[in-house]
Structure 1
Amino acid sequence: MPRVVPENVQKKQARDAKLLKELKERRDRERKERAEKRKTLRANAEKYYKEYQNQQQSLVDARRKAKNAGNFFVEPEAKLAFVIRTRGINKLDPTCKKILQLLRLRQLHNGVFVRLNKATMNMIRRVEPYVTYGYPSQSLIRKLIYKRGHGKVGGSRIPLTDNSIVEGQLAKHGIASVEDLIHEISTVGAHFKEANNFLWPFKLSSPKKGFAEKRHPYQNGGVWGNREELINELVKRML
């Protein structure tokens, strides 16, 4: 005589089978979504790389063309600056203190990206004796974000160890990975403000071989002021 399985056991077995099936379907779906996402992110990274290469090649071609024609080549105007605080709070007047707070440069050796326009240039010039700045290369932006990048998540400083951290905060702006974030910053895109606000100010180390003369401008062999493209060399010594 076959063994009779109690009704409550049958219901439990059916429920467990249903839950197991749903779990398996969800895992399969998530696995497929992750594979598609990785494929999309890889395609985006390759697209950005080609875009950066084309930009560099276009500049080189334009310089060569101007040189061969005996003309001067006017470099494109910088849209982005990287600003580093070089002095502390001693003899800091209230206006400069407020501007440094607005620039998010609250501590010595903090660094931030700034979109260059008339308003931000006026702010930087007002606090110039306390900062040094210049125009970062795309490779430097990439290195900074990968080596020292932290995001603002719920008011906390979180290292950018995974694309999901960026996606969770910036997906609504079309930024779903660290590469998307780098591209948005380096091209000063439509959502630069949101991307830059998500990035926590970079905490840099004291530069190798130190600073020369903090009280003098860079043009006179000192520290503060505009370094233009030479900011890349300084930041590399501070990473």
Structure 2
Amino acid sequence: MAPATTVPSATDIEVPETLLKKRKQNEKAREEKLAAVAAARKASKAKRKVIFKRAEAYVKEYLSKEREEIRLKRAARQAGNFYVPAQAKVYFVIRIRGINEIAPKPRKILQLLRLLQINNGVFVKVTKATEQMLRLVEPYIAYGEPNLKTVRELIYKRGYGRVEKQRVPLSNNQVIEQALGKYDILCVEDLVHEIFTAANFLWPFKLSNPTGGWRTRKFKHYVEGGDFGNREANINKLVRQMN
């Protein structure tokens, strides 16, 4: 009769030390991953509160400025004077003509302004130097003073950011924070509020031809019934026709 054989239990089998180490490493990595996810959720929740509070503050600021403008206009009218608004801090500039028969200097300025194609639009900070540049390329552009509604609609509808020289859609606030967090710009509403700081971060806007087309083949100044040149506040109407 053959002797009975005994099967070693699982507890009797010696696990190799390398396998034990690997299990411990995997367990540690899992715990670290869970901790990181929990920390990220907590940070995201805190950031959402900050963003919400900022948005509320911006709304109050915009309303306060609007009321102050109305008050100053009324006071000037009652005193029999004219109210002259402060000079614009930023222009929105749209390229409306191509490069045929364009001189080297205007061509270079359009490149510096990043207006490389027809219907490209950019925000430009108003300085003495930029105003001189705009005058030199005026036959090829339309520009003016964008209001808050225009800035917000452009960024939300057609906004792309420049991230490591790449054109990246502003699909979430993380894109903005990674590029502009050092300026304390964390979200789209921060970007709208600080458009003067962040103008170079925004990729040139690609607009469509205006509804109904251009008025005069773009060869006359706006004040003469044409299309090119400074439209002041009327740039907002043009942007809506092209957005």
Scaled by the length of structure 1, the TM-score of the pair is 0.91
Partner of 1:88: 98
- 2:63 corresponds to which of 53, 59, 72: 53
Structure 2 residues not aligned, in runs of 5+: 1-8
Q: Residues 85 and 6 from structure 1, CA distance in 2 versus in 1: closer, same or farther, beyond 3 angstroms?
A: same
Q: Deviations over 1:27-81 (max 9, x none)?
A: 1111101101111111111111111111111101111122223222121111111
Q: Deviations over 1:91-145 (max 9, x none)?
A: 1011110111111111101111111111111110111111111100011001001
Is 163-172 or 65-74 further displaced after alignment? 65-74
One-letter identity of the residue aligned with 1:23: K
Partner of 1:198: 201
Structure 1 residues not aligned, in runs of 5+: none
Q: 2: CA distance between counterparts of 1:219 and 1:122?
A: 19
Partner of 2:153: 143
Partner of 1:6: 14
Percent same amino acid among aligned pairs? 47
Partner of 1:210: 213
**Greater gyration radius:** 2
SS at match of 2:199: helix
Q: 1: CA distance between counterparts of 2:207 and 2:100?
A: 20
- 1:227 corresponds to which of 227, 231, 234: 231
Shift of residue 6 of structure 1? 3.3
Q: 2: CA distance between counterparts of 1:227 and 1:118?
A: 18
Q: Residues 102 and 63 from structure 1, CA distance in 2 versus in 1: closer, same or farther, beyond 3 angstroms?
A: same
Q: Residues 11 and 116 from structure 1, CA distance in 2 versus in 1: closer, same or farther, beyond 3 angstroms?
A: closer
Q: 2: CA distance between counterparts of 1:141 and 1:2?
A: 69
- 1:175 corresponds to which of 182, 185, 190: 185
One-letter identity of the residue aligned with 1:83: V
Partner of 1:106: 116
Q: 2: CA distance between counterparts of 1:35 and 1:156?
A: 29
1:236 aligns with 2:217: no
1:154 aligns with 2:164: yes
Q: 1: CA distance between counterparts of 2:211 and 2:58?
A: 32
SS at match of 2:45: helix
Q: 1: CA distance between counterparts of 2:26 and 2:127?
A: 62
Q: 1: CA distance between counterparts of 2:13 and 2:211?
A: 77
Q: 2: CA distance between counterparts of 1:155 and 1:72?
A: 46
One-letter identity of the residue aligned with 2:88: A
SS at match of 2:194: helix
SS at match of 1:73: coil
Q: 2: CA distance between counterparts of 1:44 and 1:52?
A: 12
Q: 2: CA distance between counterparts of 1:16 and 1:106?
A: 52
SS at match of 1:28: helix
Is 133-142 or 166-175 further displaced after alignment? 166-175
Shift of residue 11 of structure 1? 4.7
Q: 2: CA distance between counterparts of 1:83 and 1:15?
A: 57
